Amino acid sequence: MLGEGILKGMAETAKNFAGSFFSAERLTTVEYPEQRIVPYEAARVFPFLVYDGGDWEAGLRCVACQICEKECPPKCIYIEKSKDKKPDALGKPQFYPARFDIDISVCMSCQICVEVCPFEAIKMDTEFELSTDDRFGGLLLDRKQLAKSNQYYHQIHSTEAANVDTHLAAEKAKSDAKARAATEAAAAKAATASSAKPEGAGD
């Protein structure tokens, strides 16, 4: 029948329109800011830096590899890499960002920085109430302002954060197993060399 698809579409639109007045699930208007709707887990606004442990500065996952800075389409990320290394939350010496700034007045929330980060160090926040009377300085966030704990990450993106923790734990286990194997191989090699040493060779 000619126009059947249009009629079905209009019927569905009318059904949704009428339902929005009577269905409790569809009555989404709230008295903001007294009432607030919890953001969807997949919501994204601006990036933040994840840190582990209790100290944001020592626990930052970021190692200043600068991939996000290079890949950022609007070029709103600025990173200065440290000259030295310091222990991360796991005690492993790492480079760190001596400076990490994001200009959120330029950021377009594309999430490319999150996608390209190999260390799960940068994620998307759901916080949107960031208005300020300082058009420039107030919208340029430094690493301290960007740093948020892994617990916070779990609160806003619980499923994603759990998957990330599982992945990081698997990578750490693989790295630890490789280090143990290397240590055992070196010890076995030293033992073999010691046993093969002729008697009196050191006299």
Query: Which two three-digit tokens encode residue 75?
Result: 């070029």
pLDDT tens for each residue of 128-182: 888 888 888 889 999 999 999 999 999 999 999 999 999 989 888 888 888 889 8
Question: How would residue 35 be classed by pLDDT, with cut points 50, 70 and 90?
Answer: confident
Beta strands in the chain (DSSP E): 47-51, 77-81, 86-87, 93-94, 97-103, 122-124, 140-141, 147-149
Q: What is the pLDDT of residues 103-126, one digit of tens each?
A: 999 999 999 999 999 999 999 999
pTM for this predicted structure: 0.77
Rounded distance, CA 161 to CA 143, Å?
A: 21
Least confident of 38-47, 51-60, 141-150, 189-198: 189-198
CB within 8 Å of 175: residues ≥ 6 apart? none
Architecture of domain 47-165: 2-Layer Sandwich (3.30)
Question: Once rounded to an integer, what is the mean pLDDT over residues 21-48?
Answer: 84
